[in-house]
Amino acid sequence: MISTGELKKGIVIELEGDLWQILEYHHIKVGRGSAQVRIKFRNVRKQSIVEKTFQAGEKFPRATLERRPAQFLFSDGNDYTFMDTSNYDQFVITGDQLGEAKDYIKDNLVLERISYEEETLGVELPINIDLVVKETDPGFAGDTATGARKPATLETGLVVQVPLFVSVGDVIRVDTRTGEYQTRV
C-alpha cells in the first residue's frame, strides 16, 4: 500500500479495479479540516484521463509493472508484432495502444515491454532513436549560420524539423519524448 504522501508523477496504482498512472499531483491545504490531494490520472489500459480528489493519508495498492526487453518484428495493418527477448514469446500491440510511439518504431528496434500480471500494457521507447532521412529540401552553403530549420521525413514516416545542413540519406538522432532533432549521427 502507498499513501497519498508518497505519491509522485509516474507511479502506477490500482484504483476501482483498474491501473492508473499519476500524471500530476497537488497537495491542497484548506483553512479548516484536513488537507486534500488532487491527482490527475491516466488509465493505463484505456488511455483516458481523470482528475480526482482524495483525503490526505488515504492509501492505495501500488501496481508493480514488469519491464522486459523486447524487439519489434513487423507490422500488419494496425497490428505491431514484437518478441520478448528474454523468453522469445511474440506479442501483438495495436496502433491505438502504441499511440505516438508507432512513429518511432523501425525494424529490429529494441525497447521495453511493460506488462502487469502477464498482460501486455504497452512498450516504452528508448530516449533517443537513430533514423534515416528519406525526404527533405536540399541545403545550400552558408545555411548553418541562421539557425533556420526545415521539415524532414524520416524512414518511419515521422516528420521533424532539422537544421538546413541535413540532407537525404543522413542518419539523425531524435528524442522520442519530444520528437525533436538532437544531432546528426
- Of the pLDDT bands very low, low, confident and very high (cuts 50, 70, 90), residue 97 is confident
Residue with grid cell 523486447, as numbered in its chain: 70
Average pLDDT of the segment spanning 134-158: 81
Domain that holds residue 12: 2-60
Q: For residue 47, what is its C-alpha cell?
A: 488511455
* Structural domains in the chain (count): 3
Q: Which CATH number fits the domain that encloses residue 175?
A: 2.40.50.140
Average pLDDT of the segment spanning 20-28: 90
- Give yes or no: residues 133 and 179 share one domain: yes
- Give yes or no: residues 119 and 133 share one domain: no
- Torsions phi, psi of 131, nearest 5? -130, 150
Task: Report pLDDT for 138.
Answer: 86
Greatest extent of the chain over all pairs of C-alpha atoms, in Å: 68
Task: Report pLDDT for 45.
Answer: 83
Task: Report pLDDT for 172.
Answer: 96
Kindly tell me if the per-residue pLDDT of 146 is higher than 80: no
Kindly tell me if the per-residue pLDDT of 5 is higher than 90: no
The 10s digit of each residue's pLDDT in 38-63 is 999 988 888 889 999 999 889 999 99
Q: Which CATH number fits the domain that encloses residue 24?
A: 2.30.30.30
Write the burial class of residue 184 (CB in 10 Å: 0-12 exposed, 13-18 middle, 19+ buried): middle
- Give yes or no: residues 108 and 153 share one domain: no
Listing DSSP states for the chain in one string gives -EEGGG--TT-EEEETTEEEEEEEEEEE--SSS--EEEEEEEETTT--EEEEEEETT-EEPBP--EEEEEEEEEEETTEEEEEETTT--EEEEEHHHHGGGGGG--TT-EEEEEEETTEEEEEE--SEEEEEEEEEPPP-TTGGGS--EEEEEETTS-EEEEETT--TT-EEEEETTTTEEEEE-
Task: Report pLDDT for 142.
Answer: 59
CA distances from 135 to 24, 58, 167, 179 (A): 38, 54, 8, 17
- Give yes or no: residues 145 and 164 share one domain: yes
- Give yes or no: residues 70 and 120 share one domain: yes
User: pTM, whole model, 2 decimals?
Assistant: 0.75
Percent of the residues in the chain that have a pLDDT greater than 90, as a whole number: 53
- Give yes or no: residues 89 and 104 share one domain: yes
- Give yes or no: residues 74 and 86 share one domain: yes
CA angle (138, 143, 148) in 5-degree steps = 95
The 10s digit of each residue's pLDDT in 109-133 is 999 999 998 888 888 999 999 999 9
Q: For residue 147, what is its C-alpha cell?
A: 539557425
- Give yes or no: residues 135 and 168 share one domain: yes
